[in-house]
Amino acid sequence: MQASDRFNINSQLEHLQAKYVGTGHADLNRFEWAVNIQRDSYASYVGHYPILAYFAIAENESIGRERYNFMQGL
């Protein structure tokens, strides 16, 4: 980072970003990124009831079971 960069909004932006778990950085490897993707996906599935219902129908499981499975995956 340049000296001029240190005090402007950009550095604060990066600081802000670093506070979120799923954010990445230049040294992130494939595995770590993939883990984040997986977790985000599961969280998203669990968070959207229609999607959960859709998966339940497709897998022929109860919605509760689906939710449980996804929670375990987190």
Partner 1 sequence: MDPEIAKTQEERRKMEQQLASMTSLTFDTDLYGGNDRDSYVTSIPVNEDEDNLDSLMDNEVARKLASYTAPKSLLKEMPRGSDESDDVSGFKKPQRIIDREDDYRKRRLNRVISPERHDAFAAGEKTPDPSVRTYADVMREEALKREKEETLKLIAKKKKQQQEEEEAAPEKPPADSSAAAAAAAPKRRNRWDQSQDDGGAGAAAKKAKTSSTSDWDLPDTTPGRWDATPTPGRLGDATPSASVGRRNRWDETPTPGRVVDSDATPAAGGVTPGATPAGMTWDATPKLSGLATPTPKKQRSRWDETPATMGSATPMAGATPAAVTPGVTPVGGLDLATPTPGAINLRGAITPEQYNLLRWEKDIEDRNRPLTDEELDAMFPQEGYKILDPPASYVPIRTPARKLLATPTPMGTPLYAIPEENRGQQFDVPKEAPGGLPFMKPEDYQYFGALLNEEEEEKMTSDELKERKIMKLLLKVKNGTPPQRKTALRQLTDKAREFGAGPLFNRILPLLMQPTLEDQERHLLVKVIDRVLYKLDELVRPYVHKILVVIEPLLIDEDYYARVEGREIISNLSKAAGLATMIAAMRPDIDNIDEYVRNTTARAFSVVASALGIPALLPFLKAVCQSKKSWQARHTGIKIVQQIAILIGCAVLPHLRSLVEIIEHGLLDENQKVRTITALSLAALAEAAAPYGIESFDSVLKPLWKGIRSHRGKVLAAFLKAIGFIIPLMDALYASYYTKEVMVILIREFQSPDEEMKKIVLKVVKQCVSTEGVEADYIRSDILPEFFRNFWVRRMALDRRNYRQLVDTTVEIANKTGVADIVGRIVEDLKDESEPYRRMVMETIEKVVTNLGASDIDARLEELLIDGILYAFQEQTSDDANVMLNGFGAVVNALGQRVKPYLPQICGTIKWRLNNKSAKVRQQAADLISRIAVVMKQCQEEQLMGHLGVVLYEYLGEEYPEVLGSILGALKAIVNVIGMTKMTPPIKDLLPRLTPILKNRHEKVQENCIDLVGRIADRGAEFVPAREWMRICFELLEMLKAHKKGIRRATVNTFGYIAKAIGPQDVLATLLNNLKVQERQNRVCTTVAIAIVAETCSPFTVLPALMNEYRVPELNVQNGVLKSLSFLFEYIGEMGKDYIYAVTPLLEDALMDRDLVHRQTAASAVKHMALGVAGLGCEDALVHLLNYVWPNIFETSPHVINAVMEAIEGMRVALGAAIVLNYCLQGLFHPARKVREVYWKIYNSLYIGAQDALVAAYPTLEDEQNNVYSRPELMMFV
Among residues 20 and 72, whose Cβ is nearest to partner 1?
A: 20
Two structure tokens written together for 63: 């919605």
Q: How far is the CB of 24 from partner 1 (least distance, A)?
A: 5
Q: Tell me the C-alpha distance between 38 and 73, whole Å.
A: 8
Q: How far is the CB of 20 from partner 1 (least distance, A)?
A: 6
Q: How far is the CB of 59 from partner 1 (least distance, A)?
A: 7
Q: Which residues bind partner 1 (CB under 8 A)?
A: 2, 4-5, 8-10, 13-14, 16-17, 20, 22-26, 28, 30-31, 33-34, 37-38, 40-41, 44-45, 47, 54-55, 57-59
The answer for 60, left when phi > 0, alpha when psi is -120 to 50, beta otherwise, is left
Exposure of 2 by Cβ count < 10 A (0-12 exposed, 13-18 middle, 19+ buried)? exposed
